[in-house]
Structure 1
């Protein structure tokens, strides 16, 4: 095991922007009583609700449609969803009675042409309970196992070979597509075994509690001091360092972070908001366009943001209406096609490669098609570049950007 210590650099405070242009959002109301807990790049949302006021049931919303319940495995009465990946795989827990929060059994829902296939996992030997908290896009599922279902004590990975403890006593926080796990202020690379510890910012702290990790190893959560007002929502970005996302409170935290570094946060019984990079902080309510009707965003329930800046939150539908989950989608979702400086394609030995060079923001996603189909999603990196590859090609191939029909489509001959 290799351990690195990351020293603290400059601590930045993120203030409300002066005169910054707030993006406008449209709203899809996903259903009364639902709480969204995760979102993927397609805008699909997983979550849970209580139809009878006691037992929870897990569900999924696809593309802004209302939630639908997920199937229960045989012998189970309640369920709970925690995370969803880009393939639509959902992880959470199930229970043979109504107490899925205090007596969970980890479960995964894998989409099939007919619906979903549900698999139930075993806890570690000697433990009665376990739950799955996070899933990445390469198939890793992490969670926890323990004696007390409401406070599971051992971080685990649910593998095809069985349930195994995480190395170095890591608790389960989140896992990214690089197979890096976060637990408090520690990152563990499952491939290399390298453990990186991030020193806390200057001050007198009890510790940092992580909530989410992105694919660049940026993370967010809260830092806890010793006084009544010494908890702060925090973000750590590689190359930037620790950032305070707001002032102190008794209960507050950042809850989610995308690959751009945009982070959601909340203050208990007060407000929920987002700190965009580089625009700064906005309350979620002020982002909703007036054409969308009356939505009163709640302080809790802001639990997911994807690279397209879609946000899952909770809102009251009308002044006296019910509270439920909402999907917030930017109204100007399309890329600035004029920012694409070069779009090219070439083919060598049957491998077709298309490249985009632009000044588009990092994390922007483009859809590239080959001969009108065979679509690939390209994510723009920090240098404004993106690339897609197709193997086993022959003949003439024309590659186009779906979102930018006016950009000339390059052709490449694969022989």
Structure 2
């Protein structure tokens, strides 16, 4: 028999040989967007803090005030860990998303697993995009429902799977998709998907982890991609969002009808059986959402995205077709991605080097993320450093 130690070392050696080994970067503090990373000052283009709220003094001050309520929630929400600040945050999330109610979770992963497993099980079907986040995929697998997947954002392929699911029986059908895809930055065709859900009597669940706060509609400007697609509570009944990206804090939520929230409170195991969100985090999230509503942060981010893409086009950088804050540059080769990322770091810029299994084999990439806190000068510097790095390692993207 192979010892545990031998097994671990063999798998780790395999990862290193494949250029897929991951290691931590240690930051002295949250990037704003300049950060001290492993002792070196770098301008970061790898954070999901799309609105720059993680370092806003008002948000930090709110967290400090929230900490006066206690270092932790001390128990699960349903035992005695639900505070008034949690209730206020849930009301604010419902307001921002244009939904009747909302429920807090410890993380986006816990939210997706909990929601899916509460809604479907054996005899039901979960339909998912092939590029869905791992938490959606794992939620579907754990549920015991039949899992059907379709080619990325392919509406015709989706309809074939929905037709197949409906023909299989009278079980429930849940369509779960990302609103904005975390590695490609593209937006799902949600209006068409919602129409198909109506046709095949399926429920639409939208993961707004990368859409909440940075896209929306005229009436709900920060609600996310479902709102941007014109979908209301009836057409997009299950909306999940995270509070650790555009909101700059931590935790997650689901928003929808009061009946949905009441149901998940009773049946979502990842909500019921875990300690509540620390009150300091809830207070920081609440202030961050207020700033989203009060300040033109989303408009500033849109300007930064537009500037980046216009200048990248002039420099002939072959970006993906993304209009979001996520701007991937696919190089394909893991070694090339690591080499370019290292060159950028030497030039003073931190950019994520994303490799399989996070993305499909052959699509290793630089994941450039923009923030409302970036200046045009910082973006210009990154672009010129990127051109130089691509040349120095002889990469043809």
Coarse TM-score class (shorter-chain normalised) = under 0.3
TM-score normalised to structure 2 length: 0.23
User: If each structure's helix is expressed as a fraction of its own residues, which one has the higher value?
Assistant: 2
TM-score normalised to structure 1 length: 0.23
